[in-house]
Structure 1
Amino acid sequence: MAAIPTARSTGSHGPRRESHRRTDRPEAPARWEPPALAAVLGVATLLYAWDLGHAAIHPYYGAAIRSMATSWRAFFFGGLDTSGSITLDKLPGAFWPDAVSVWLFGPHTWAAALPHVIEGVLTVWLLHRIVRAWAGPFAALIAALTLTFTPVTVALNRATIPDTALTLLLVAAAGALQKAARTGRLLPLIMCGVWVGLAFQTKMLQAWLVLPVFAVVYQLTAGNSPLRTARRLLLSGAVTLAVSCSWALIAWVTPADNRPYVDGTSNNNPFSLVFGYNGISRFSDDGTAFGAVSGTAASRTSGNTGWGMLVNHTVGPQIAWFLPLAVLAAVTALIWRAGEPRSDPLRAGFLLWGGWLAIHAAVFSVSNGNHVYYTAVLAPAIAALAGGGLALFRSAYESGGRRRLWLPSAIVLTVAWALVLDGPTWFVSRLLAFAVIFAVCGAFGLWHGGSRASPRLVRGSLAAGIAATLLVPAGWAVSSLDPRYAGASTSPTAGPVGEVHHRALHHPSAPRRAELDRPSTRDTALLDYLIAHRRGEKYLLATQAAYPAERLLRAQAQPMLVMGGFTGKTPFPSAPQLGNLIATHRLRYVLLTHLRPTTPATTWVKSHCERVRSGAYGWRTRGNFGLYDCRAQG
């Protein structure tokens, strides 16, 4: 590994770089950089794309992806079925790449998951590029490796969940902000607003969490006057707002008869979906803020919250392997660089990524519950801080003095923390033993090396130390390639943690994962019956909530009326609307389930329609469902 150039020194003893200098000219890469980056990206691609034909297709999102791939109305508005009767309970932006992929390659599981693999690999590449411009090639390589082997990142990039796109776009925004502060140009700052706005289209308000951090970092580090900097921030903020709200505004001005009903709302208003159902209701006991309907237990999970959530038994092994190193690096850098000019770019980077980490951790801690995969958005910040921190400590080590002990100490701390995280399960105990050995060898070599040691010994000790920090999280990450250690398709995790894993241990014959175009025998029998008895009705079927419709929509792209939306609580259609559809011969069959709440529409079906014997459509038992024939009402 090449030494950090003097101009990029991160210690306080070396020559200081002129912090007011603005340049956009990248340094020529060292000979080892291109092959090293290529190797990291190759490993990332292999991890994320392994056995992609059996990727973790989210049942609900997978149904919408197939529908969006076959209907422009469903594509733009995020319709759950091909007719676009009701939207997803999320914005459709994150699923547009998935739908395009399915449209291009066909309704295959791997086609739906492929965009997420690409997004994951692009995030690793982009983070490397950003960190290199900020803290040098050594820091960039460590950041790329850390992100690649973050367990929750590997599990998530093998699923069809919006957070992969969110993370990529926010990393792009951070890079644009860094470039704007470094060069003093306006265009990168505008692009930062565009990227955040596009990230909003994938995960809504969560994308805005970074905005206060971005604003503070730019205000402190930009070389312009405070007034000019504030004006530029306001312009970038306006761009962010315009891009963020563009889809909701288009949907709002579109007449209700010309678009799907907006799920998650009681007033058919897309802004209620964004700011109510997916916003305020996440932080209050009243789940009906701003016209939202209340969520289900699945959409408002009550676990993984509080100030210790990032290091608990389930979440910790997914994201927190380098958390102590990241916090130590951020705090140390801010202290060591306290005497630098206000616009010091190195300190600005630690402030940027440290703020990203802190604000997300705080918001997750006070919310009313989080899925484990939400924490994947922390991975780039932790990786950047880990890379920048080791570069900082390495620079101090090469400068000599008492600060040279920080590098081996940081390595020992990180491996010791791995003992804590892995301890409850001892899942990768053999790797942990090797990690301890490597850490001891690396720390000993660095501790007793100093200026008198040969460069080869120092480089070898440092390589051993870095390998020690990566071994255990890599073991957890690789485990997610085995379905037994990958969590649920609705909540991907790595390793032997979570309720899904423990249920699988006691019930090895658990239902298979959701897939596209691979219906079960039971689903095929029901679809065949419905198609055979269809007499020109617009809808093949109406279902009580999305749960009964998901598997049928993944099997075939058919128009289905999903009553009540995802939760079953959305007031669409009303009982009179449902009766009108049946009376005008646009609907005949309705599938009800006791697993979702009763509504006026479902009550109307039970009192006006005839229940069909399960044997008529090839089911030996009814299970949790009941099929009703409403033809007599026509």
Structure 2
Amino acid sequence: MATIPAAKPTGAHRRHRAAPRRFRRREAVLRWERPALAAVLALAAVLYAWGIGHAAIHPYYSAAIRSMATSWRAFLFGGLDPSGSITIDKLPGAFWPDAVAVWLFGPHSWAAALPQVVEGVLTVYLLHRVVRAWAGPLAALIAALVLTLTPVTVVLNRATIPDTALTLLLVAAAGALQKAVRTGRLLPLITCGIWVGLAFQTKMLQAWLVLPVFGAVYQLAAPGAPLKRAVRVLLGGMTALAVSCFWMLIAWATPTADRPYLDGTSNNNPFSLVFGYNGLSRFGSNPTAFGAVPGTAASRTTGNTGWGMLVNHTIGPQVAWFLPLAVLSLVLGLVWRARLPRTDLLRAGFVLWGGWLVVHAVVFSVSNGNHAYYTAVIAPALAALAGAGLAVFWTEYDSGGARRPVLPGAIVLTVVWALVLDWPSGFVSRSLPVAVMLALCGALGLWIRGACTSRRLVHGALACGVAATLVVPAGWAVCSLDPRYAGASTSPVAGPVGTAYADLVRHRAKVSTIGLDRPSARDRAVLDYLTAHRQGEKYLLATQAAYTAEPLLRATSQPMLVMGGFTGRTPFPTAQQFGELVATHQLRYAMLTTQRSTTPASTWVKANCSRVPPTAYGRTTNGSFTLYDCRPIG
């Protein structure tokens, strides 16, 4: 912000007073900046941790988290059950912190969700640091507030889903890249590659989407000769590749008998898991690309795609509140600084965050389908562009000239866009008048600046304008603390949108939460029956697909053989392997379901095992599950 110039000391007086004045100026900044940042971080912690004891943890991932907390084999390879017979269908990196928390504090829902809360708050803090070094303290504070109050980040940071860790690590990578561009040193660029590689361990190929942007920004704006910059980009990319592949190489080098079967693959190959099942099969027409097994409706979401996906009625209210402001900031930031030297850092930052936003938007638009929470990864880019844009617009406004109307215009545009996004549902309609009044006060206060030189009035108008842009998204974010407006545990989404909310309205049902160590009466009866009739077998139970095993694995740390993995279509175990386990008294009981397709192993069960009457374990009917006793006769 501009200040009224004071009389400049001269001579000896200047020499004696220069250092103290710089110290006081620095302390003056810290007096408002540190408390403001602390308040934002406290707000983030409250939003993300509120009601954590009843967090809507993901049923599949939380089952694996409990198993990983009880076995080093399951921990290292991401085993779905404690014996590590088969992995989850993702890399395990995102769940390592969750498993450690459950190991430390016990099998509680809050323990599984706690690392997500910490990761969310750390992301806000890191984004503040990165944006402050790029565009100053005002931009950093606005960016931190925008990210904190983005509805999708609030619901996601209260769940056990990999995107929270992915976002944190990519923001850390952006900070390292920014330092590399600013200093011209190689070490920050290598650090950037490490962070991207670690992000790969959480969400695989999605972590690499930023690499073209990072490379372009360094080549465009870093100091040094073009060839030197290109070599350094190559070294950073090689570092990212090496760190990205370390788990795959460990799994590939480990004998198959000494590790779990890799879910989602037809060939038990880690590269098929990453590049096939979680890669090519999601973007092409071949569901078995590169050794992948075909997905199911549960593993392959549809919808939320196409070029308008970011502003549709579901995703728009999750993340797009500052999209017009971010686009305006990006365009004007690049145009206004087009003639500056190649190494202009402010322009490089606009390229960085703008490229992050554009690449992700394009990839999401052309994919086969997206959960709404996937878009949480673009929230830091939107927040950074919004914060930097308003800070730049404020500088131009304060300096006078033809660009002064951009600041009040940007505020009004953002508030109008908020009204558009909220209009279909009218979810926070009571807060709309507040947003409009604040916007009018802010725009009016900024407009009369030409006739009034009161700094207090102008600063108050700016504060009103920024607050106006935050009112409506904050309403959606806060309301998501009510479980009715937090979506499903498998697909968190804020507000009265999504299939979970539609089902609640249609069936007038109560919100049910999934937790660790909280089995239903039905599941407890099954576990009690299996435990009472267990006679030294390695596996308590074999289940058809993870769908059948999930509630039991969340309730106990006993080994279970999950046939077919998440989809039920992974070719493990074979019918011969299953028969050998039964013959060697390592397995006795199997539970099949009508909700998954038949496999050779399930066919073997039906042909060689006898049904257990449902009354034996406290049920009146089988429902969609049938328990079989496979004990060999004789």
> Please, what TM-score do these two structures have when normalized by structure 2?
0.95
Q: What residue in structure 1 maps to residue 20 of structure 2? A: none
State the alpha-carbon separation in 2 of the partners of residues 633 and 218 from structure 1. 70
Q: What residue in structure 1 maps to residue 82 of structure 2? A: 82
Residue 46 (str. 1) matches residue 46 (str. 2): yes
Residue type at the aligned position of 2:230: A
In the TM superposition, what is the alpha-carbon distance from 1:273 to its structure 2 partner?
0.3
In the TM superposition, what is the alpha-carbon distance from 1:510 to its structure 2 partner?
4.7
State the alpha-carbon separation in 2 of the partners of residues 587 and 345 from structure 1. 63
State the alpha-carbon separation in 2 of the partners of residues 4 and 175 from structure 1. 30
Q: What residue in structure 2 maps to residue 145 of structure 1? A: 145
Q: How many residues align?
A: 614
Residue 568 (str. 1) matches residue 568 (str. 2): yes
Residue type at the aligned position of 1:348: A
Instruction: Note the 1:107-122 alignment, pairs <5 A.
Output: 107-122=107-122
**Residue aligned with 2:427, SS:** coil
Q: What residue in structure 1 maps to residue 495 of structure 2? A: 495
State the alpha-carbon separation in 2 of the partners of residues 560 and 511 from structure 1. 29
State the alpha-carbon separation in 2 of the partners of residues 288 and 448 from structure 1. 64
Query: Share of identical aligned residues, percent?
Result: 73
For residues 407-461 of structure 1, what are the alpha-carbon distances to aligned partners after superposition, in whole Å with 9 as ceiling and x for unaligned? Answer: 0000000000011100001110111111011101111111221373311110111
For the 8 Å contact 1:400–1:451, the answer to whether it is kept is no
Residue 434 (str. 1) matches residue 437 (str. 2): no
For the 8 Å contact 1:61–1:161, the answer to whether it is kept is yes
Task: List alignment gaps of at least 5 residues for structure 1.
Answer: 7-25
Residue type at the aligned position of 1:134: W
Q: What residue in structure 2 maps to residue 18 of structure 1? A: none
For residues 590-609 of structure 1, what are the alpha-carbon distances to aligned partners after superposition, in whole Å with 9 as ceiling and x for unaligned? Answer: 00001001011101100110
For residues 570-603 of structure 1, what are the alpha-carbon distances to aligned partners after superposition, in whole Å with 9 as ceiling and x for unaligned? Answer: 0000001101100110000000001001011101
Residue 274 (str. 1) matches residue 277 (str. 2): no
Residue type at the aligned position of 1:118: V
For the 8 Å contact 1:4–1:138, the answer to whether it is kept is no
Q: What residue in structure 1 maps to residue 16 of structure 2? A: none
Q: What residue in structure 2 maps to residue 309 of structure 1? A: 309
**Residue aligned with 2:321, SS:** coil
For residues 303-338 of structure 1, what are the alpha-carbon distances to aligned partners after superposition, in whole Å with 9 as ceiling and x for unaligned? Answer: 100000000000000000000000110011000000
Residue 253 (str. 1) matches residue 258 (str. 2): no
Instruction: Note the 1:538-553 alignment, pairs <5 A.
Output: 538-553=538-553
Question: Which moved further from structure 2: 606-615 or 507-516?
Answer: 507-516
Q: What residue in structure 1 maps to residue 285 of structure 2? A: 285
Residue type at the aligned position of 2:148: T
Q: 1:152 to 1:4 in 2, by over 3 A?
A: farther
Q: What residue in structure 2 maps to residue 399 of structure 1? A: 399
For the 8 Å contact 2:582–2:632, the answer to whether it is kept is no
State the alpha-carbon separation in 2 of the partners of residues 511 and 135 from structure 1. 43
Q: What residue in structure 1 maps to residue 17 of structure 2? A: none
Q: What residue in structure 1 maps to residue 459 of structure 2? A: 459
**Residue aligned with 1:196, SS:** helix
Residue 338 (str. 1) matches residue 338 (str. 2): yes
For the 8 Å contact 2:484–2:511, the answer to whether it is kept is no
State the alpha-carbon separation in 2 of the partners of residues 54 and 499 from structure 1. 21
For residues 10-32 of structure 1, what are the alpha-carbon distances to aligned partners after superposition, in whole Å with 9 as ceiling and x for unaligned? Answer: xxxxxxxxxxxxxxxx9764320
For the 8 Å contact 2:583–2:632, the answer to whether it is kept is no
In the TM superposition, what is the alpha-carbon distance from 1:514 to its structure 2 partner?
1.1
Residue 559 (str. 1) matches residue 559 (str. 2): yes
Instruction: Note the 1:131-530 alignment, pairs <5 A.
Output: 131-450=131-450, 452-510=452-510, 512-530=512-530
For the 8 Å contact 1:400–1:450, the answer to whether it is kept is no
In the TM superposition, what is the alpha-carbon distance from 1:4 to its structure 2 partner?
8.9
Residue type at the aligned position of 1:533: H
State the alpha-carbon separation in 1 of the partners of residues 453 and 520 from structure 2. 65
State the alpha-carbon separation in 2 of the partners of residues 4 and 621 from structure 1. 78
Q: What residue in structure 2 maps to residue 617 of structure 1? A: 617
Q: What residue in structure 2 maps to residue 19 of structure 1? A: none
In the TM superposition, what is the alpha-carbon distance from 1:184 to its structure 2 partner?
1.1
State the alpha-carbon separation in 1 of the partners of residues 596 and 215 from structure 2. 44
In the TM superposition, what is the alpha-carbon distance from 1:5 to its structure 2 partner?
12
Residue type at the aligned position of 1:355: G
Residue 589 (str. 1) matches residue 589 (str. 2): yes
State the alpha-carbon separation in 1 of the partners of residues 630 and 330 from structure 2. 64
For the 8 Å contact 1:325–1:414, the answer to whether it is kept is yes
Residue type at the aligned position of 2:585: H
State the alpha-carbon separation in 2 of the partners of residues 599 and 30 from structure 1. 64
Question: Which moved further from structure 2: 619-628 or 481-490?
Answer: 619-628
Residue type at the aligned position of 1:116: Q
Q: 1:556 to 1:410 in 2, by over 3 A?
A: same
Residue type at the aligned position of 1:32: W
In the TM superposition, what is the alpha-carbon distance from 1:399 to its structure 2 partner?
1.1
State the alpha-carbon separation in 1 of the partners of residues 299 and 402 from structure 2. 51
In the TM superposition, what is the alpha-carbon distance from 1:507 to its structure 2 partner?
2.3
For the 8 Å contact 1:538–1:559, the answer to whether it is kept is yes
State the alpha-carbon separation in 2 of the partners of residues 5 and 605 from structure 1. 84
State the alpha-carbon separation in 2 of the partners of residues 203 and 263 from structure 1. 15
**Residue aligned with 1:107, SS:** coil
Q: 1:259 to 1:198 in 2, by over 3 A?
A: same
Q: 1:124 to 1:4 in 2, by over 3 A?
A: farther
For residues 604-634 of structure 1, what are the alpha-carbon distances to aligned partners after superposition, in whole Å with 9 as ceiling and x for unaligned? Answer: 1001100111010111221110000000357
State the alpha-carbon separation in 1 of the partners of residues 187 and 601 from structure 2. 52
For residues 499-527 of structure 1, what are the alpha-carbon distances to aligned partners after superposition, in whole Å with 9 as ceiling and x for unaligned? Answer: 11011112233572210001110000000
Q: 1:615 to 1:181 in 2, by over 3 A?
A: same
**Residue aligned with 1:506, SS:** helix
Residue type at the aligned position of 1:332: L
For the 8 Å contact 2:147–2:380, the answer to whether it is kept is yes
> Please, what TM-score do these two structures have when normalized by structure 1?
0.95
What RMSD in Å do the two structures reach over aligned CA positions? 1.4
**Residue aligned with 1:627, SS:** strand
State the alpha-carbon separation in 1 of the partners of residues 4 and 555 from structure 2. 57
**Residue aligned with 2:632, SS:** helix
Instruction: Note the 1:91-106 alignment, pairs <5 A.
Output: 91-106=91-106
Residue 62 (str. 1) matches residue 56 (str. 2): no
Q: What residue in structure 1 maps to residue 19 of structure 2? A: none
Q: What residue in structure 1 maps to residue 11 of structure 2? A: none
State the alpha-carbon separation in 1 of the partners of residues 210 and 540 from structure 2. 44
For the 8 Å contact 1:4–1:395, the answer to whether it is kept is no
For residues 468-495 of structure 1, what are the alpha-carbon distances to aligned partners after superposition, in whole Å with 9 as ceiling and x for unaligned? Answer: 1000000000111100000000000110
State the alpha-carbon separation in 2 of the partners of residues 321 and 5 from structure 1. 35
For the 8 Å contact 2:484–2:501, the answer to whether it is kept is yes
Residue type at the aligned position of 2:218: Y
Residue type at the aligned position of 1:214: F
Moved over 2 A (4+): 2-6, 26-30, 450-453, 506-511
